[in-house]
Each structure stands twice: as C-alpha cells, then as structure tokens.
Amino acid sequence: MRFDPRFCPNATRVLGLDAITYGGDYNPEQWPREIWHEDVELMVRAGVNMVSVGIWSWAKLEPREGEFDFEWLDYLLDLLHKGGIRVDLATPTAAPPAWFYKNYPQARVVTRDGTVLTNASRGMAAPSSPDYQRACANVTRALAQRYGNHPAVAMWHVHNEYGAPVSDSYDNASRDAWRIWLAQRYLTLDGVNEAWGTSFWGQTYYEWDEIPVPAISATVTNPSMRLDYARFSSDAVLGCYLQERDIIKEHSAAPVTTNFMALNCPSMDLWAWAQEVDIVSNDYYLEAADPRGHIKLALDSDLTRSIARGKPWILLEHSTSGVNWQDRNVAKKPKEMARNSLSSVARGADGIMFFQWRAARFGAEKFHSAMLPHAGVRSRVFREVCDLGAALGELSQAGVAGSSVPAEVALLWDWESFWAQDLEWRPSIDAQHRERTLAFYTQLWEDKVTVDFAYPEQDLSAYKLVIAPASYLLTDAGAANLADYVRGGGKLAVSFFSGVVNENDTVRHGGLGAALEDVLGLRIDEFLPLRSGDSYTLLAEGKLADACVASVDARIVGGKLRGDVWADDLDVQTAEIMARYLDGPKPDGAAITRNLLGQGAAWYVSSRLVGADLAAFLDAVYLDAGVSPRRDLPADFEIVTRASRDESGDRFTFLINHTEQVVDYVSGTIVENLIPGGEQASAAVAVPPGEVWVVREHA
Ligand code: GLA
C-alpha cells in the first residue's frame, strides 16, 4: 500500500494511506477535461493526497445495460496517478442509471405508506431486489476487473452512505426476503408468534405467506415485528455491501470501505457493519442551527472510533463551509473548518476528506461549499484548505497517524435499543435516547473526559466508568455483562427507562426493571412520567450531597437539584438513597441511588437532569470511579490526547479553542508545538481564540 515515490516528489505532502489522508469527493464527469488538469495542479498545491472518484458515475460508465465506457475513467486515473493523487475508487451503485428503472420498474423502492419512489434523483433501488443486486454485481465486477491493480487505486469506496436516503423498502421482493429472514431467525412459525406476542390483538400467523411487511396499518403495528423489520432491513442493506465487497476482493488487494453516517443514519447497526470493512470511514455535517455543533461532531467522531474498535478511521466527508440542505446554511467562520477537522484527528481520524473537491455549477448541490469553491483559488476557503493540508502534513511527519485515543469512560450505545424505543406508544414522548445520550456526552465533553462508546454485551473491564444514558432494550446477556462488570469493580451509572424490555420488545416477567434489579438493588413499581413543562426538586444525600457542596456551580444550592420529564416509584432493596424527590409525583420517594455489588457500584438516576444538575450528579459518579474532569478550563476549550502505539511514549495533545478568549494550558512535559506557525511550546501555552494547537508531550 505504499505510495509510489516516482510520482511523489514531495513525500511529506503525498503520503497515501500510510499517513493522514487528505482530499474529497471528486466528480470530474461534470467538467470538461482541461479543468481536470487544473484540478490536479490545485490538489497538489493544497496538499491533497487522495480523492474519491466515481460515486455517481454509473450512467456514464454503463450507458446501456451491459455496455461499458471506461475511456474517461482510464484517462482520469492515469492523470491523477501522474499527479501523485491516490484514488478511493467508488462503485456507483447509489445512483442506478435511468435504463435500470425503465427495465426493472419492480425494483423501485416502496415506502412504508406505499409510495413508489421514482428516479430523476439518486438513491438506491429496493435492497432485496434480485434485479438491483444483479445490476450492482455486474458494474462492480467490471470496475474491479479493470482497475483492481491500477497503481492509483488506494482504496475502494463501495456505494455511498448505505441506509440514506433509503434504508428499508416494502416492495414484493423485500416481502419475500423478509419471510426467509424470519424463517432463518425463528425456524418455526410458533417461534415468530411467540417472539412477536401475536396473541395480542389476534395477530397469530398460521402460514408463512400470511406474514406481511409492517407497512402502515389501521393503528399501531406490532412493535416486535417492526423491531425485527429494522433488523432485517439493516441486514438486507448489509447484504448489498457484502456482495460488492466480495467481488472487489476477487480482483484487488486494496482495502475496502463504505462511508457510514454513524450519528445521522440511525437505521444501520454499525456494530455489525464495521466488522465487514477494512477501514471504517464516516461522514458528518455540522448542524448549522446549533452554535455548539462541534460537540455533536466530537460525539460522532468518538462513536466512529468506537465502532472501528479503536483503530484509526477516515472522516470521508464533511464540509469546508455551509451545506445546501439545511434551512439556513450558515457558512463556517474562519478557522472553523480546521477546528472541525483537527477535532476529528484528535479523536482518531487518520483521514480528513470533504464533499467535495470542486463546487458543482448545476444540480441539487450547487450551493454546497467545496474545497475549491465557486470563487476559486483566491477565496478564503481555498486558502484555509491549503493551510489545513500543510498542518496535516506536519502531523503526519510527527507520527500522529496510527496513534490511539485512550478513554477511561464508556457510554452505552445500541442501535437495536434505539430502534425499539423509537416505536410508538411509549410512556412519554419526552423520554428520548438521543436527548439523554447527548446530554451525558455534552457534560463529559465539557469536562474534557474522553469517552468511547460500547455495546452492552462487549468486554467493559478496561473502563473505570460505564454510563447507560438510554438502554431501553437490554438482552439477558447484556444485563449479565453489566452485572459482571460491576461485580469485578466497575462503576456503572444508569439513567431512567433502561433495562425495560428484552430483544423482542417484551417486558420481562417480574417487573419493569427486572433486567437490572440485582445490579441496581431496587425494583420499579411504576413509571411516573410528567406533564410537559412540569418539574420537581430532588434533595441530595450522602455522596451526592458531598458532591453538591463541592460544586463550584452557583446554581446548586443546599443540595437541591431540578429534574423533569420522568420519575419512578422505586422500591429500594439493597441500594443506598442518594437523592429523594421533595415534590412531584412521588414526594419523599427515592430518586437517585447507589448500590454496592461485588467490588463495584451501580448508580441509578430516575430523573432527567440537565446542565448544572447533571454536572453535580456526574461529579459524584466521577469521584466514585476515580475519573478526573477538568472544570478549571473554559467549557468550550476542547482537549483530547492521542497516544503513540510505539515505545516512544509520545502523546499528542490537541488543544482546540472554540472560545473567543485566549486560553492558557499548562503542562510540565510539553516537548514541541506541531502546528505550523505556532510558537515552540514550553511548559505553558496560550492558545489564541479559534486556534488549534497540537503539542507533543511525554507521558
Ligand atoms: C452526503 C452525500 C454527498 C453529498 C453530501 C452533501 O453526505 O454523501 O454526496 O450529497 O451529503 O452534504
């Protein structure tokens, strides 16, 4: 996989996959060839070393079914190769050509409400359609045979953002595949009926061909069935990926990836998907309406590193400035693009790529920013793109690529649980897994505590603290694993509406919290959700009261916290009460508890806490777990450390100043500042507003 130095006069700038990868989606089929030559020159100027090519090119590559035109792609790959730009070559199956829809109208996607989607846009066909699968296999094979050993091809980019915009379809081929999937999972119809609780509302199935797809029905569709359809759909789409990947592997040794959307495409179970790619890659776009969007970006990066099991990953798409598909596409401020990009590097990315290299003049995305915007090389954005390329080159030289991101805390994240919780008729629409996860993550981010994400069944023993912000669905194996983790000395913090159902969305016999009763030392008699806007006061006791006293936040007075959305009627067994409700639906009832189990302890918080109240709760938990937050620095000063995997003991600490003030950072062990133009660092550095400094420290 090493880059061929014959085409790389400046090895620090063009390092292919052995260093930090830099570039973007490149769609030259939208431009005349003379522009392609200019593109390559400008890419070299910007420090670009890889581009993703061919993502939307099916109609150009195969203008008629079975007839291929590779002349333009041969020319392009050779041109890029001569320029020292490596290629992430895409299979174009996210945009089938018009002939496909004309020849195979039955392969169109059918939505849950029965709408048949037409073409004139992009978006795959029905994932289970044999016609779509065959057409994908044909074009993938043709590409892999032709370019499998092309020296420019560094990586394969299968499809584009599987699961978006199409994750599920309710067409006839999907229905047939769904029945087969069910037969494989349950073996018998009795198994299906039992898993889905079909004796409720008289839904029992006596023949396989009686089972429908869970399209819209008169009222709420069987939730267990819908949960299985979500699993089936993730598997069906994964099957499309696997088919293409396996064909590529027959013809090429280059690594294969597909660009995930870890945070923003909730329909794919990426714990399963990530095992099937050679390199995890991910796309993320800031939400312009959120002035602190960098926190969700950080969450997305930590999630992506976690599904990559700690191995380096590639940010395959983000934007240099505004996008085009939000209501108000706010342009990024000067240096914001660098802060976003380097935050991702800090959190384990070894590649920083954008949508897209050159802004499109026509089509749906002509107002989307690009590395080379409509305003051209004189633009601020292009200057910043060149600066970022230089900075990434420096970081590559310093050995950042390949280093790891140590984390002491894990947040539980389970797509299956989220699918189940998102179904209809839950106790409160205000109990939202995304809100809880983001609330806990935000506090940890402000506290500069780096987190991994984990699924409930995985080995958790390396973490000092595991937090379950929203684990509505918990398998028996997951619950047992959490109990073992605590018994072995781990500290666990569980938020409300967790451990409620098993993998079939079925409440366990024995209670609403039966899965976690022993570990939490309590029983849940009843859920007590609140009316919209209602809140109540909790009075802290014990270790939590101590944490409130120690809190520097003026909002915490006399150990009183505010909670809303939710309460439980708790029957406390072995747990110690850490806070009681003073008012609300259960005055004097236990609200927050801590239970000793084996060598560890498990906290339970039955209330929705935010801001200072959540910070006070976490302070008590951190102390219990031996985790050290950094509350002495401004909340929006981001600090993350990558650690070298070799014997050097080098640690690269990224200091990202999202504030408008200079922030002083003191460390006794700084060796040098790695960002070009930055001063050589001593024990203390003063990071200017908006800047990112990366310092090398020794452990
Ligand atoms: C997605 C797609 C890209 C482009 C961008 C625009 O991530 O993969 O092709 O449409 O969005 O933000």
What residue segments make up the domains of the chain, in order of their start? 21-165+256-396, 409-625, 637-697
| Substitution site in 354, 355, 367 for ligand 1 pocket (most atoms within 8 Å of beta carbon) | 355
Q: Which residues line ligand 1 (CB under 6 A)?
A: 160-161, 283, 285, 317, 323, 355, 365, 368
Grade residue 273 by pLDDT with cuts at 50, 70 and 90.
very high
Q: Which of 161, 394, 446, 517 is catalytic?
A: 161
SS3 310: coil
User: How wide is the angle at C-alpha 231 spanned by C-alphas 230 and 234, nearest 5°?
Assistant: 85
User: How wide is the angle at C-alpha 454 spanned by C-alphas 449 and 459, nearest 5°?
Assistant: 110
What does the radius of gyration of the chain's CA atoms come to, in whole angstroms? 26
The sheet with strand 256-257 has its strands ordered as 256-257, 153-157, 86-90, 50-53, 21-26, 349-354, 313-317, 281-283, 259-260
CB of 286 closer than 8 Å to CB of 319:
yes
Cα–Cα distance, 253 to 438 (Å, whole number): 39
The predicted model gives 363-392 an average pLDDT of 97
Contact residues for 368 (Cβ-Cβ < 8 A; gap 6+): 319, 322, 323, 324, 325, 355, 356, 359, 360
Query: Which residue's CA is minimally distant from atom 5 of ligand 1?
Result: 355
| Residue 18: pLDDT over 80 | no
Confidence (pLDDT) at 552: 66
pTM: 0.96
Which CATH number describes the domain made up of 637-697? 2.60.40.1180
Q: Which atom of ligand 1 is nearest to the CA of 259?
A: 8
Confidence (pLDDT) at 681: 61
Grade residue 127 by pLDDT with cuts at 50, 70 and 90.
very high
514 φ, ψ (degrees, to nearest 5): -55, -35
| Residue 6: pLDDT over 80 | no
| Residue 3: pLDDT over 80 | no
The predicted model gives 335-361 an average pLDDT of 98
| Residue 677: pLDDT over 70 | no
Confidence (pLDDT) at 430: 98
120 Cα: distance to centroid of ligand 1 (angstroms): 17
22-26, 551-555, 621-625: range with lowest mean pLDDT: 551-555
Work out the mean pLDDT of the chain and round it to a whole number. Answer: 94
Which CATH number describes the domain made up of 409-625? 3.40.50.880
| Residue 506: pLDDT over 60 | yes
Q: Which atom of ligand 1 is nearest to the CA of 161?
A: 8
Grade residue 647 by pLDDT with cuts at 50, 70 and 90.
confident
- Note if 317 is an active site residue: yes
Whether the upstream peptide bond of residue 458 has omega within 30° of 0, thus cis, is no
Query: Which residue's CA is minimally distant from atom 3 of ligand 1?
Result: 355
| Residue 262: pLDDT over 90 | yes
The predicted model gives 259-282 an average pLDDT of 96
The predicted model gives 509-527 an average pLDDT of 96
355 Cα: distance to centroid of ligand 1 (angstroms): 6
654 Cα: distance to centroid of ligand 1 (angstroms): 28
Confidence (pLDDT) at 678: 58
Whether the upstream peptide bond of residue 133 has omega within 30° of 0, thus cis, is no
Q: Which atom of ligand 1 is nearest to the CA of 55?
A: 9
- Note if 161 is an active site residue: yes
If one counts every other C-beta atom within 10 angstroms of the C-beta of residue 290, the result is 12
182-186, 398-402, 562-566: range with lowest mean pLDDT: 398-402
Confidence (pLDDT) at 2: 27
| Substitution site in 55, 317, 326, 358 for ligand 1 pocket (most atoms within 8 Å of beta carbon) | 317
637-697 and 409-625 share a CATH fold: no
| Substitution site in 30, 365, 366 for ligand 1 pocket (most atoms within 8 Å of beta carbon) | 365
SS3 227: helix
Better pLDDT: 115 or 4 = 115
Which CATH number describes the domain made up of 21-165+256-396? 3.20.20.80
CB of 387 closer than 8 Å to CB of 625:
no
Q: Which of 62, 244, 317, 691 is catalytic?
A: 317
pLDDT tens, residue by residue, 204-233: 999 999 999 999 999 999 999 999 999 999
